[in-house]
Amino acid sequence: MAAVRFGTDGIRGVAGASLTSEIAYALGAALAAHYPAGNILIGRDTRPSGPGLSAALAAGIRSGGATSINLGVIPTPGLAAVVAADAEVACGVVVTASHNPAEYNGLKVIGRDGRKVPDALERELERMIDERLAAASSDDASADSAGADSASTTDAHDDARGAAYAARYAAQLVQVAAVATPNRAAAGIRVVLDASNGAGTPFAESALSATGATVDGMAMGEGLINDGVGATSPAALGRRVVELGADLGIALDGDADRCAVVDEHGVLIDGDVVIGLIALDRKRRGLPGSERVVATILTNSGVERQLREAGITLQRTPVGDRHIAEVLTLGSPGFGGEKSGHLLFPEHAPTGDGLISAIELFALLVRSGGPLSALAATLPLDPQVQREISVREGEAEWLLSDPRMSSAIRDAERQLAAGGGRLVVRASGTEPLLRVMGEGPDETLVTSVVDAILAAGSALLAERR
């Protein structure tokens, strides 16, 4: 049986340890076998391990007779957009670990439609990767050394084509800004942009400035990716917003497919509130498809009730923006998102794009005419507690299958349901964690129930170890 390598957001691990050049090379060769015709585009974020993994990936692609084109540093949604727009492109791969610390990296495979490939193809790629790794281990020269040797030189023609693809994405962002904020309508807005020293850095300022907004940048490549900055560490952004008297702050994650938002007081706006505000704004404007919003099982029930009162149905999916994308029809009106900051506008792009999300938020702020804090206050949330347990490989799945843990979860679900709440316990698809989310009107009860699940899980792990 093939090893499970793909999580909810591609293959991910610590670079040089659980994610090696051998794996990247094997993935490249597997993709070449699956897509024997057409070009395969490669992009990456700014992690130190990115160039080496990209080179090994490209070498694997070429070993299978396919053509690789290197776009260099580009956001995941940027690569997705150019893959979807060019019939000569078979697929794309982004070398990124998104919001994870710099020592991690990952491999996201983007299909012909610009979206993450289906689970069935991921399972097939896993099988092919395992076969190639097994074959390489029996040879004198490993796939890693073969990949390094064959990728040591870069074709200048490929570089030129990669730059042209990146320029197409930059032009698309400017076009979205022109549509969302005609005549530079956001000229009265001042924003602080935290690019997380990541993949959005080369594109962010020009895209957001095209709205007319005044953009003050931070973490624009002067430090390490996701190191105390970005969507998962917005405190520094909040302080900078207050210091400059800006109207809001936007923080991208490492591959710029999501954004976090802080108001004019430097306070982080919950991602579910952002989803709700955009959904209500689209409904008020009578946009096609605005009677439905697609979100995940983690989206707050308080937002769901308020959307329902406005005539909007919340359709829930499993966690992961790929599941939201599967429900939304590419190229058609609609909207969906995750509380983590992935917002999907299928009329603009095939996947979540942090910069497009920021542009749409600017437009909403212009239409509202009020401060972001006042808008956010109109959407109160139910108390929600999210915690996690650190686990080793395979332990999250073991915990969820253990009858004692299952019994504890059922008891907790009954307690919360009796008070109008709910519980979600799941294995993280991107990190070695078991995640627990409890929600309900009674915050004390929610906290107690979540703590009980954490205690049960920790006790079982201690016993197993």
In which region does residue 226 sit, left (phi positive, over 0), alpha (psi from -120 to 50) or beta (all else)?
left
> Tokens for 39?
């070009």
Q: How far lies 158's CA from each of 55, 163, 389, in Å?
A: 13, 9, 44
What tokens does 228 get? 């105390």
Q: Which of 21, 49, 98, 357 is catalytic?
A: 98
Q: Is 285 left (phi over 0), alpha (psi -120 to 50) or beta?
A: alpha
Phi-psi region of 192 (alpha: psi -120 to 50; beta: other; left: phi over 0): beta
The owner of tokens 């709205």 is 211
* Separate counts of helices (H) and strands (E) for the chain: 16, 18
Would you give the distance in Å from CA 395 to the centre of its chain? 24
Whether the CA torsion 285, 289, 291, 295 is positive or negative: it is negative
Other Cβ atoms within 10 Å of 235 Cβ, number: 13
Cβ atoms of 386 and 435 within 8 Å: the answer is yes
Report the DSSP beta bridge partners of residue 343.
Answer: 337
Rounded-to-integer distance, Cα 33 and Cα 61, Å:
8
What is the end-to-end Cα distance of the chain in Å, rounded? 25
Q: Is 406 a catalytic residue?
A: no
What does the H/E/C string look like for 197-234?
CCCCHHHHHHHHHCCCCEEEEECCCCCCCCCCCCCCCC
Structure tokens at 147: 């990949």
Q: DSSP secondary structure string, 248-291?
A: EEEEE-TTSS-EEEE-TTSPEEPHHHHHHHHHHHHHHTT-TTTT
Any idea which residues carry the catalytic annotation?
98
